[in-house]
Structure 1
Amino acid sequence: VVADFLSRQMLNQKDKNFESENCKFNVYKIIEKVNLTSTINVTDERLSNIRDETAKDTTCQKLIEFIVIGWPRYIKDVPDDVKIYYKYKNEFTVQDGLIFRNDRIFIPFSLRKLMIDKVHVAHNGVENTLNLAKRNLFWPNMTSQIREKVQNCNICVKFSASQTHLPMMSHSIPIFPWQSISLDVFFVDYEKKPRKILVIVDHYSDYFELSFLKDLTPKSIIDALKENFSRYGVPAVCCSDNGTHFVNKTMKEFAEKYQFKHVTSAPYHQQGNGKAEAAVKIAKNLIKKSEQSDEELWWVLLHHRNTPNKIGYSPVERLMSRPTRTGIPSNVSKYVPKVPEQVPALIEKHRRYNKYYYDKKGKDLPQLNIGEGVQVQLKPDTDKRWQPATVSRQLTERAYEIDTGGTKYVRDRVNLKDRATSIQDLEKEENLIHKEMRTSCVPKEQNQMNKEKPASCVLTPKTSVPTPKKSLNMNVSDRPKRNIKPHRFKDFVYQ
């Protein structure tokens, strides 16, 4: 401390007696006048409590003795319970029965749990709690103890951030039309009345049918399915969400009778039935636009089915191997049936393209074990809080049945996380908040990054996902540069 003080108070005069014993004595007197106790913003009662507990702690008394009398030259001569403080020996001071490490007060063992609770009262997470503690308090292994406290804090886990989406997982690619379909029910105002509509979409062709329902009873759903099955055939696989109008005894008997496999997605995980969700989005837009343009819905739907999409063929061409007649003049030869070529390969290429960009922010999660304790979001659409549960069994690759204490639910893996993942999300959320606060003051122009698409996004089914390549000219500066000639040519003129 004295050396540091002298180095910061350099004098211009060159006196030979500058470093005399008298000068050092004066420096010590100045330092002794510094009252660290008066700089602590705490009540007298709390300060007295720390002083009393310090006096009762035998380790603290040994530490005070070494601070006042002096430390041994070698650490081997220090008692075992005080060795941990040896590396801080030059930073300790004692004043009014309190121990300080620089300007941080030393907390005796009996008060450490209380102080951990106090610094974590705002439940700010690991890093923020540590920053607050390190600014004011000190005791050995404080970092690990605070980290353990936050990791076992139920409130922090309960309000931790939701998990990022998982990598894209698609259904198997069908090899013929109407082999695999998806179902969903949506509600929309049509002709000034609230309507219930069943959408049935084919995975091979993206062709979808709309069936208006009187109600959401299993009978109404099955009647609509029978009507469409009689028109296009019985599919091999039928996918839907976990709604009660799809998951019931009547629907199960219907699937057994018509010999198709009924697959359901996990509740509150719409992406599991993504094909039907995409068809619902298109259907709603068509209904709204048809009413605004005073066109009949079925007339609009006819033209949509004949519009080629990114696959290169229209939905009706892939379903029926020919376009259907619309109000647009076209050559008669176009209506001759012709099976579209390489549709499964085109579907796979399109899926791989979408997966490449979707998975950029995705994160795969490990499988959960039966009997493992997890945290679950029961209603992630409306309530993001987590609560404890236990894994009962695994239904599919990403769907699990969990037990919350007598009640069982089925949830997707994205709505389940183990204890370690909860703490990692806490720290990531903290870092994200700090990053946003730091970048909020940076001009917008400096925050914009030049993003380029991959050099080649044209994928074939047998090729791997391309790695994006940065442009070679991305980091080239536009500033003028001075042309420096080689030293050996200083006596010559060259071009």
Structure 2
Amino acid sequence: QYNRLPFGVASAPAIFQRKMETMLAGLPGVQVYLDDVLVAEQPGTENLRAVLQRFQDMGVRLRQSKCTFRKSEICYLGHRVDQEGLHPIEKNLDAIRQAPSPTNVSELRAFIGLLTYYHRFLPNMSTLLAPLYELLEKNKVWQWGPRQRDSVEKAKTVLLKSPVLTFFDPSKPLRLECDASPTGVGAVLSHRLGSVDRPIAFRSRSLTSAEKNYSQIEKEALALVFAVTKFRDYLLGRQFVLVTDHQPLVGLLREDRPIPLLASGRIQRWALLLSDFQYKIEFRPGKLNANADALSRLPLPQTEESREEELPEYVFAIQCMDEAFLPARQLKELSAEDRTLTTVKSFVMRGWPKILTKEQHELHPYFCRRQELTVVQDLLYWGQRVVIPGAAQKEMLNLLHEAHQGATAMKRVARTLFWWPGLDGEVERLARLCHNCTQAAPMPPASTPVNWPETGENWARLHIDFAGPIENKMLLVVVDSHTKWIEVCVMRSATTEATIRELREMFSRFGLPRAIVSDNGTQFTSQQFGEFLERNHVEHLKTAPYHPQSNGLAERAVRTVKESLAKLSTGDLEEKLAKVLLSYRRTPLSDGKSPAERLLGFQVRSRVDTAVPSRRVCSPDLQVPTIRPHAAVWYRNFGQGEKWLPGVVESNHGARMTVVSTPGGNVRRHLDQLRLREVKAETSEAPAASGSAVPAPSPRSPADQLARAAAASGSAVPVPSPTSPADQLARAAVPAASAKSPANELYGDATTSSEPEDSCVPFQLRRSTRTRKPIDRLQL
């Protein structure tokens, strides 16, 4: 990455200019053009010091050999600037004076470009160079004659005697003088200093072939519009005087007059444009308006006869049809040759019959409009629209479609100018059959979305797509259309082999689907992928090319995964993906069931569930009693020696796990690996067995031991059937109705289980009068 702006970058000059202007912004009397900085100051001001201080603050270094100070005049951008104003550089004028006459179009363009650089010094440039511009017209044969040579010499002379341009001062009054000639328009912006006008800049241009046909009032109005447009930056928001030598414009475009409603549409548009400016229009005769672009015009003698000829010509232009398409004379000739229009004009002039005959069926469209048809100057009109004969209809359609507008736009234009039967249909047909319009037409409106058919079963139709690259890895996203379950596989590369491998592993967990929907990616359209699905009898449905909306379920799943991953800032991709999938699969959908409940049949447990106590109710039959601490038991020995050894219960871990204290330390045993031990019997036998090992328990069953313990206490306990030690302990823990048995002293009640409170809510009886009794079993 570059640390400095390198050479060769196309936008480097603009970037450098913007940086320089930003650096020196706000400093008075400073003008910047790339690396050329002009600083103007008057005695008592310190503009130069402020500029140097700004450079020092910004870390800019200046080369002293390229800096000049305290100059009364300088050459800047091809001009000589002094206290009087702006002058062309003498050496450039010498180059123009010594330039040879052009010999071809390329040299002529170069010469005109050289003069154009000093266009602000040439008050009559468009008129002086008119013979030269004629040689630049298309298909114009090169012919250098006396008119061209005189034009070049006059341009050189005018440039060498060019006036000095004064500086623009917003505090001084502004005058904008405009004028028009048969070949061009021009303007001069000047300051009124006393009784002298000092020019600021000149502007001029040649008229186009269409503009040369404007009336004189329109040419003069065009000069005003051209002038205010070119000097917009000087004039906008300031009061100025607009000078013209055309008297009618003063009353027509006066600043206190509204928009002229009876003028032509072109004049009205220009009046709206001029309304943006604050001007006062002033009339100045042409002989006194020599400074207004000094356009060389050749005025015709203003005789009474010439004024009489001007008015009918102007009125005729208002009454006649617009000749932008076909000349009126040609339309008259074609209308006279058209048999249908000739008959219609005859009926319009002489009267329509009450009923048309069968031979006159082609006149039915005109018969329906017979009250609105007129004949003006041998042309048939329907209202304000001229009726086009059949021979000219094709040409009119081609002219109408010249800019390749749409059918609606063409019909709007046609409805203001002309008509013939079936015009709208032909316009629409032309727009449909145009090859260029078809190629450039936008996409049609999107059709109404249609959902995929509901499968009604889990894992029947899968929608798959790739997402990424995300952290230099690709994600294969698979979503079930019925349950909305999402599977995401992290892959290093999105190849066909890797895709098949991930799908095979996925199918081993959830089974084979009936169909898979994918786009037209190379991974899914390859022969290998098709054979894989065919072997597993899975239908492959591919969407339309470049239409991701067809696989909207997969696209929405990809969006969900990508947005969720973007919101997680910590962890690697696999860790973040696990969080996203667990959270998504746990979230209920619109029907209240989560994707996990739909597919797996149960709700998966997330970290949110661990923070909320469970409301699950445990049945009393499932509650297992625990042995009370300090109870004497026999525990199973899995090491060498006897299988059963004595011990004392130290504590309980859960419902079935017990810690037993032994002479060799604490051991953990399951409830099935414990037997109750009779303490009294072991105490009476201890002296006889002094110095010997602890005797092994008698081969009696745990049920016999419990019975003997109950007999010693004087309570009757039924002898249980020979079942597992856990069941024996459970039955021994059932409390008697009258008194406590030894078993109850050793075992806790069912409600004193050490199971965590958040995993089971104690069972409560629904009826307070119910009496619970121990199970009465057959005693054998």
If the length of structure 2 is used for normalisation, what is the TM-score? 0.35
* Residue pair 1:126, 1:150 contacting (<8 A) in 2 also: yes
SS in 1 for 2:561: helix
Alignment of 1:311 onto 2:580: no
- 1:109 — aligned with what? 390
* Residue pair 2:325, 2:396 contacting (<8 A) in 1 also: no
* Residue pair 1:199, 1:209 contacting (<8 A) in 2 also: yes
Q: Are residues 210 and 139 of structure 1, via their aligned partners in 2, closer, same or farther at CA, if it must alter by over 3 Å? A: closer
Supply the distance in 2 between the matched residues of 1:142 and 1:299 (Cα, whole angstroms): 66
- 2:557 — aligned with what? 279
Alignment of 1:298 onto 2:578: yes
* Residue pair 2:465, 2:518 contacting (<8 A) in 1 also: yes
The alpha-carbon deviation at position 218 of structure 1 amounts to 0.7
SS in 1 for 2:450: coil
Supply the distance in 1 between the matched residues of 2:419 and 2:584 (Cα, whole angstroms): 70
* Residue pair 1:120, 1:129 contacting (<8 A) in 2 also: yes
Alignment of 1:266 onto 2:548: no
Supply the distance in 2 between the matched residues of 1:178 and 1:83 (Cα, whole angstroms): 70
- CA deviation string 1:340-397 (max 9, x = no partner): xxxxxxxxxxxxxxxxxxxxxxxxxxxxxxxxxxxxxxxxxxxxxxxxxxxxxxxxxx
Alignment of 1:327 onto 2:601: no
Listed as ranges, the gaps of 5+ residues in structure 1 are 1-33, 337-495
Q: Are residues 141 and 35 of structure 1, via their aligned partners in 2, closer, same or farther at CA, if it must alter by over 3 Å? A: farther
- 1:223 — aligned with what? 501
Q: Are residues 334 and 48 of structure 1, via their aligned partners in 2, closer, same or farther at CA, if it must alter by over 3 Å? A: farther
Alignment of 1:51 onto 2:332: yes
SS in 1 for 2:487: strand
- 2:533 — aligned with what? 255
Supply the distance in 2 between the matched residues of 1:335 and 1:299 (Cα, whole angstroms): 30
Runs of 4+ in 1 over 6 A off after TM superposition: 292-295, 332-336
Alignment of 1:98 onto 2:379: yes
The alpha-carbon deviation at position 79 of structure 1 amounts to 7.7
* Residue pair 1:324, 1:335 contacting (<8 A) in 2 also: no
What do you get for the CA RMSD once the two structures are aligned? 3.5
- 2:447 — aligned with what? 165
Taking the TM superposition and a 5 Å limit, the aligned residue runs for 1:128-207 are 128-158=409-439, 159=441, 161-175=443-457, 177-189=458-470, 193-207=471-485
The alpha-carbon deviation at position 282 of structure 1 amounts to 1.1
Supply the distance in 1 between the matched residues of 2:451 and 2:511 (Cα, whole angstroms): 27
Larger relative contact order, structure 1 or 2 (CA cutoff 8 Å, min sep 6): 1
Moved more, 143-152 or 248-257: 143-152
Instruction: Report how many aligned residue pairs link the two structures.
Output: 299
Residue 80 of structure 1 is aligned with which of 360, 363, 371? 360
Supply the distance in 2 between the matched residues of 1:297 and 1:205 (Cα, whole angstroms): 20
Q: Are residues 154 and 332 of structure 1, via their aligned partners in 2, closer, same or farther at CA, if it must alter by over 3 Å? A: same
The alpha-carbon deviation at position 221 of structure 1 amounts to 0.6
SS in 1 for 2:323: coil
Supply the distance in 2 between the matched residues of 1:35 and 1:62 (Cα, whole angstroms): 27
- CA deviation string 1:229-256 (max 9, x = no partner): 2222222322222211011111122113
The alpha-carbon deviation at position 185 of structure 1 amounts to 0.6
* Residue pair 1:75, 1:86 contacting (<8 A) in 2 also: no
Taking the TM superposition and a 5 Å limit, the aligned residue runs for 1:343-354 are none
Alignment of 1:240 onto 2:518: yes
- CA deviation string 1:128-158 (max 9, x = no partner): 4333222211333333433443443444444
* Residue pair 1:37, 1:96 contacting (<8 A) in 2 also: no
Supply the distance in 2 between the matched residues of 1:308 and 1:268 (Cα, whole angstroms): 33
* Residue pair 1:237, 1:260 contacting (<8 A) in 2 also: yes
Moved more, 143-152 or 203-212: 143-152
- 2:83 — aligned with what? none
If the length of structure 1 is used for normalisation, what is the TM-score? 0.53
Supply the distance in 1 between the matched residues of 2:524 and 2:616 (Cα, whole angstroms): 39
